[in-house]
């Protein structure tokens, strides 16, 4: 069965040619500037995911689901991805393949507090938690 190796948060994420590029990666706290009495601002962030696909699971589709949730499990967003990893010529039999995905998100968090990204792949679940903080902006 394929496995989610990791889920990581970044200021921005890109996946190209099998490589995952992160700008400002691996944070656990997101600080957003807010105006007194104003609406919460739009937050931009990236999600990087690595999936390890075993030899006998290559050349068939696998469905990955990511949920953005509050700490109490309320779903705010859902992202789906289908991936199929092939076997390159000359690959040693039994070798796993790694797929990397990058998703960039612009969203308005409803309030400061705890959130999490939950990844589901088959019967496996993996998650990363983070906190959103408000910082007053000068008017």
Q: What is the pLDDT of residue 37?
A: 77
Contact call for residues 114 and 76 (beta carbons, < 8 A): no
Q: What is the pLDDT of residue 1?
A: 87
Domain boundaries, the chain: 3-136
**Nearest one of 93, 89, 17, 100 to 51, comparing CA atoms:** 100
Contact call for residues 13 and 50 (beta carbons, < 8 A): no
DSSP-assigned states of every residue in 42-74: PEEEEEEEEEEE-GGGTTSEEEEEEEEEETT--
The overall pTM is greater than 0.85: yes
Query: What's the chain's Rg over C-alpha atoms?
Result: 17
- Tell me the C-alpha distance between 2 and 6, whole Å: 12
Q: Which of residues 136 and 43 earns the better pLDDT score?
A: 43
Q: What is the pLDDT of residue 139?
A: 64
For the stretch 9-36, pLDDT in tens is 999 999 999 999 999 999 999 999 888 7
For the stretch 44-97, pLDDT in tens is 999 999 999 999 999 999 999 999 999 999 999 999 999 999 988 888 999 999
| The CATH number of the domain covering residues in 3-136 | 2.60.40.1930
């Amino acid at each position: 069965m394929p496995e989610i190796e990791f889920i990581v948060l970044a200021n921005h994420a890109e996946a190209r040619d099998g490589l995952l590029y992160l700008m400002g990666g691996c944070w656990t706290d997101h600080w957003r500037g807010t105006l007194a009495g104003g609406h919460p601002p739009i937050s931009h962030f990236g999600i990087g995911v690595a999936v390890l696909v075993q030899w006998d699971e290559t050349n068939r589709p696998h469905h990955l689901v990511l949920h953005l949730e509050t700490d109490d499990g309320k779903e705010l967003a859902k992202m789906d991805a289908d991936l199929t990893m092939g076997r390159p010529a000359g690959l040693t039999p039994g070798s796993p393949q790694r797929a990397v995905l990058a998703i960039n998100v612009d969203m308005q968090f409803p309030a400061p507090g705890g959130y999490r990204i939950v990844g589901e792949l088959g019967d496996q679940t993996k998650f990363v938690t983070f906190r959103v903080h408000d910082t007053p902006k000068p008017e």
